[in-house]
Every structure is written in C-alpha cells, then in structure tokens.
A = this chain, B = another copy of it.
Amino acid sequence: MSEQNELNVAEEKIDVEELAQRVSEYISERKYSELKEFLIDMNPADIAELMEEMEDKYLPLIFRVLPKELASEVFVHIEGDTREILIASFSDSELKEVLDDLYVDDTVDIIEEMPASVVKRILKHADPETRIEINKILKYPKDSAGSIMTTEYVDLRKDITVEDAFLRIRRTAVDKETIYTCYVKDDNRKLIGLVTVKDLLMADYHDKISDIMETNVIYVHTSDDREEVANQFSKYDFLAMPVVDAERRLVGIVTFDDIMDVMQDEVTEDIEKMAAISPTDKPYARMSAIELWKKRIPWLLLLMISATFTGMIITSFESALGKLMVLSSFIPMLMDTGGNSGSQASVTVIRSLSLNDIEFRDLPKVVWKEIRVAVLCGTTLAVANFVKLLTVDRLLLGNSQITVFVALVVCTTLIATVMCAKVIGCSLPMLAQKIGFDPAVMASPFITTIVDAVSLMIYFRIATVFLNI
C-alpha cells in the first residue's frame, strides 16, 4: 500500500517540475497560444502549483495568458507570496477584473493575508456592493463562523413553485459558491427552511417550495467558533451550513470546502499546542527564523524554569545520592518513562475531547480506566526492568552497586511513577477544559515537567526508606 502511494506521489512531483520546464520553454520561445492551449485543460489547483515552481518574473505573463474565469480560479488557489507578486504586477483594471470574479469569502481570505497597502488597493477596486459584503464579513471576530462564511447563496421564497425555483437558480447560479442547498427566508429575512437541488429534482414541477422544504434547519450563529462549525459539519455531513445572526436572520453560508481548510488548520493548531508552540496560521515554509523563535521561546523559557524545581529536588537529596551514586544513573530512565506514560494518557484524552468522544462528566470513568492501564503498564515495565537489572547489569556487566534492594527500589518507583503519570496525564486536560483553558496545552511538555518532579520525589522517598540512606 504505502509503496504504491509513494510511487504515485513521486510521479506527481516529477510531473509538476516537468510541466514547469515545458511552460518555461513555451515562454522563452514566445509560443503564447501553445502555452494557453497547454494550460487551459489543467485544473486551477494544478496551475497554481505549477506557478509556484516558476520564476517570479514569468508569473504575470502566465496569468495573463489564462482566460479570465480560469485566471480567477487560479488566483484563489495560489499561495500568499505568489499572490502578492501578481497583485503588484496588476494594473488597476486587471485587479478589478480578477476581484469581480472571486467569491466574497475568498476575497476576504485574501485580504486577511495581504499587507495593508495591498488591502487598500483591493478594497478600492472592488464593486461598491462587494465592498459592503467584504466589510460585513471582515467585522466578525477572527475564527468565528461569520469570518469564514460567504454571503453569496441561493435564497428562495416559500410561495414559489419548483419550476420557478429552477429558473431562479439558473439565473443566479453563476455567482454562487454552491447552488445545491437553497435557503428559504420569510419577509423578515428569518431562516425558515431549506431545499436541496436533489429535493427539487425529485419533486413535481408544480409543487410549492413551502410543501417540500425541510423546516427543521440546523444552523450556526455568526459568533460561533469555527471549530464548533467544523464539528457540526462532520456530524451532519452537510454541503453547506447556514449562518444566522442573533435574530435568526440568514446572513451567509459556510461551505464544506472552507470547512476542510478549517479542520486542517485547527488540527495543526492543536498539534502545535501539544508540542509547546504558540499556534500560527502561516505554513512552516513561509515562517522566518525570527517568527519561529517568537512562537517557541516563551514555552521553552517557561518549561526551563519549571524544570529547575526538579533540579532542586535532586539538590535536596544530594547527600543520599552521594552515598549511592548508582541511583543517579536511573534518573533519566525514570523521568523519560514517566513523561512518556503521561503523554500517552494526555494526548489520547486531548484528542478524544476535541472529537467530543468524552466530556468532563466522564472524568471518574477515564481516571479509573487509566489507573487500570497504569497497573498493567507499570507492572510490565517493572518486571522487565527488574530482570534486566539483575541479569544484564549485575551479572553480565558486573555492576556490584545494583543489589536486589536497589532493583526493588527502582521498580517500585517505576510502578508508582507510571501510576501518577497516567492519572495526571488524563485528568489535567479535562480539568483545563472545564475551567475554560485549551486542553491541548496540557500535553507532553507540561505533563512531562510535572511528572519529572513527582517521579523524582517518589524515587528519593522510596530510596531513603528502603535503602536506609
């Protein structure tokens, strides 16, 4: 499977470079009509990928060769840097043409990425009507449903017939991002129903919309978080979701393609938080070293300071350690095993929370499950380690400091550490969410820091009691 997959990816990569090569040749030989012929059959997403492989100076030329509508579609798929180069090369009338062809939500996405000077130019050249729509969306808070919706949807009145509905769809479809779900509003613009094109196709031409529409409409509010909207999408399998204001008036729709992007962004954010990185919208390849440093250093500093407490625990047992130096050689193994056990539990719980598989009221169940897992894991590790210490280390390597008592201390500590790690690891993310924090922050790095301190305390306590030091 994986090999087959690798192969396909490899083929594809070669393709893009080959294609870029061919395009360069067309340009250098000034064969512009051949170039147009060549590009016109490609998917916009592929043309965008190809353009990112090309030298910057060729970009405006390639773009101008494309037919107007295709050019706009390519413009949506292209990455921010390339897009900025293109916009800089546009005359005012070219910019206006491209903008007129974009859907409002795509324009807003582009605006949110561009520097202020470019934004001014874009807003200046947009239709007055479009500008109003853009500003409407821009006023919603970042990451809200309002900020990712489009205001271009098909709306129908409830008293028209299916035949009229088709006429209206045919007339307006070209400007709409999706036509497959049509929304029915009353006179106060309140959302009262929806029909899909499938419903319309299955109905009789003379049926009234009010008779065939679905009245139990699931919607989101403009201020809802986009992550919540994504969860609704994957629950209900919708193509589009209506967005309403506080008075339940329809103001826009969110379409599934935007939600796929949201899902990816949210996952990247969660994964970054779990690795102690402040999340960002920018892809890694476009981040400068300074930007990466800013996202990473606060957490590293915080965790470094926290880790010094663990150091203080070692200091306070310095004299005991001095008497039996072999004890310090187990510190990395105990710390790492504790950290890994804790991360396993915390990461599993964080993911389950974000998929809504578990919620806060499940805490006792989760803790009880992790305790049982901890007993199983701790015992397995302890037995394995005990055997290793007394055979490999004592007999084979002849380390005489490792007595049965030392081995017992290390293995008892292992069990206790795994137990604490699993319980801390599963409960902290749930508690964090309960008090309004993001559970993803309670992942490996934090859990590790806490578990380090706890496991060393357990270790030295057990060691002093058992070994009389």
Contacts and interface: CB of A to CB of B under 8 A. Distances in A.
A174 interface: yes
Interface string A431-461: 0000010000000110011001000100000
Contacts of A170: 201-202
A466 interface: no
A304 B336 contact: yes
Contacts of A369: 289, 292
B228 A8 contact: yes
Interface stretch (A26-34, A91-99, A130-138, A318-326): A318-326
Interface stretch (A40-48, A81-89, A108-116): A40-48
Contacts of A180: 180, 197-198
Interface in A303-319: 303-305, 307-308, 310-312, 314-315, 318
A377 interface: yes
A45 B235 contact: yes
Contacts of A351: 268, 271-272, 284
A346 B284 CA distance: 12
Given A329-B315, A452-B336, A373 B293 contact: yes
A276 B321 contact: no
Contact of A328 (B223, B293, B321): B321
Interface stretch (A54-62, A118-126, A255-263): A255-263
Contacts of A225: 1-2, 4-5
A398 interface: no
A257 B275 contact: no
A234 B197 contact: no
Q: Which of A141, A170, A343 has the most CB of B within 10 A?
A: A343
A290 to B, nearest CB: 7
Given A4-B224, A9-B228, A321-B328, 16 more contacts: A5-B225, A45-B235, A270-B271, A272-B348, A274-B274, A275-B444, A285-B357, A285-B362, A303-B336, A303-B337, A307-B336, A311-B330, A311-B332, A314-B328, A343-B444, A444-B444
User: Lowest 6 CB-CB distances: which A-B pairs, in order?
Assistant: A275-B347, A289-B372, A237-B257, A310-B332, A311-B329, A293-B376
Interface of A: 1-6, 8-9, 13, 41-43, 45, 141, 143-144, 166, 169-170, 173-174, 179-180, 197-198, 201-202, 215-216, 218, 221, 223-225, 227-228, 233-237, 239, 256-257, 260-261, 263-264, 267-268, 270-272, 274-277, 283-285, 289-290, 292-293, 296-297, 299-301, 303-305, 307-308, 310-312, 314-315, 318, 321-322, 325-326, 328-333, 335-337, 339-341, 343-344, 346-349, 351-352, 355, 357-359, 362, 369, 372-373, 376-377, 380-381, 384-385, 388, 399, 418, 436, 444-445, 448-449, 452, 456
21 contacts: A1-B143, A5-B224, A8-B228, A41-B216, A43-B216, A166-B201, A173-B201, A180-B180, A234-B260, A274-B347, A276-B344, A277-B348, A292-B369, A293-B373, A307-B333, A311-B329, A318-B326, A318-B329, A343-B444, A343-B445, A444-B444
